[in-house]
Amino acid sequence: MAQPLESNEGASPLEFRPMTVADLPEVLAIERASYPTPWSERAFRSELMHNSYGHYLVALYEGKVVGYAGMWIVLDEAHITNIAVHPDYRGRGFGHLILSEMEKRAVEQGCTRMTLEVRPSNHVARRLYQRHGFVARGIRKGYYSDTQEDAIIMWKDRLP
């Protein structure tokens, strides 16, 4: 059973660092456990090696990759491409910490707004995004090719 975060004078129990190709086995295991249609190793490699707009990080807990996130930064906007926490580490607030770190890094890159897409059926993620101040602003019809499920487009207009 997941243990909630313990307060340590505001210190995060997670360490963050840029994702590297060497992280892909752990990242892909989390990706496959988290999404019905996971990104391929080739997609992650391409993002890491060829996308100058892409910014990807891993979250480490006690030295182990337990989560990751990615975003594209274009001008003053950040677009979250993916975010996931290993199933064994969910329920500890790690998703909140990872999203907070992405927001912080977006601000450091000059971003003032952030956007993302989420499945209507992903209630846990939607609650996380709403707690972070994201607001639903639109729908992308049939966005998810695996189920033809729509995507809710969410925006946060003022990053911290």
Q: Is 4 exposed, middle or buried (0-12, 13-18, 19+ CB in 10 A)?
A: exposed
117 is known as an active-site residue: yes
Would you state the structure tokens that stand for residue 41, as one six-digit string? 């190793």
What is the C-alpha separation between 10 and 80, in angstroms, rounded? 25
All residues at 6 or more sequence positions from 50 whose CB lies less than 8 Å from its CB, including other chains:
none
What is d(CA 22, CA 10) in angstroms, rounded to the nearest whole number? Answer: 30
Using an 8 Å Cβ cutoff, are 136 and 153 in contact? yes
Between CA 37 and CA 42, with CA 41 as vertex, the angle to 5 degrees is: 105
Catalytic residue among 56, 61, 89, 129: 129
Is 89 a catalytic site residue?
Answer: no
Q: Which of 117, 143, 144, 149 does the annotation list as catalytic?
A: 117
CA distances from 92 to 18, 98, 150, 157 (A): 22, 12, 29, 27
Catalytic residues: 117, 129
